[in-house]
Structure 1
């Protein structure tokens, strides 16, 4: 199962997200759940970089791990754009979860203090 964790600050803004695991919906190369999650998450990271100039801290490997952290100290207007892009990613991932709930699970975590 793909595990998605969305980490929010106490204010509600997305600070980071982590995706790990495999969907096991189909054989490698034919797994539409894995492909969808990959396209949505990598597309969001690429959009953040291309449209805001901000490069998130990213970690990824062959095991299915993708971790993305938005750096601190970003101007408010730029952060609003980043948040819109990341919230769009969340909407897309939730759509995948609605259709393929046995293959993907999304968890939301909120920091108590900023």
Structure 2
């Protein structure tokens, strides 16, 4: 199962997220759940970098591990853009969870 943790500040802003695990929906290379989650999460990180110019703290590792942390000292306009991109990511991931809930679990902290 792929586990996703979305970490929010007290004001509700997304500060970071972590993706880990494997969906095991199908054989490696044919797993549409894993591919979808990877496309959404990496696409969101790439969009943040490409559209806002900021460099989040990114950590990648074994077993599908991805951690992305957004700097806390961003100008308001940049923070709003980043949050919009991250909220779009959350909605996309929730759509995958709705349809493939046995293979993905999203937690909010």
Instruction: Determine the structure 2 residue equivalent to 1:27.
Output: 27
Instruction: Determine the structure 1 residue equivalent to 2:74.
Output: 74
Count of paired positions? 109
Q: In the TM superposition, what are the counterparts of 1:46-85 in structure 2 within 5 Å?
A: 46-85=46-85
Q: Does 1:91 align with 2:91?
A: yes
TM (norm. structure 1) is 0.94
SS in 1 for 2:63: coil
Equivalents in 1 of 2:61, 2:33: separation in Å? 18
Task: Give the drift of 1:61.
Answer: 1.7
- List per-residue Cα deviations over 1:41-64 (Å, max 9, x = no partner): 000000000000011000012321
| Structure 1 runs of 4+ with >4 Å offset | none
Instruction: Determine the structure 2 residue equivalent to 1:40.
Output: 40
Gaps of 5+ in 2: none
Equivalents in 2 of 1:105, 1:9: separation in Å? 20
Task: Give the drift of 1:90.
Answer: 0.2
Task: Give the drift of 1:30.
Answer: 0.2
Gaps of 5+ in 1: 110-114
SS in 2 for 1:77: helix
Equivalents in 1 of 2:26, 2:68: separation in Å? 26
Alignment root-mean-square deviation, CA: 0.5
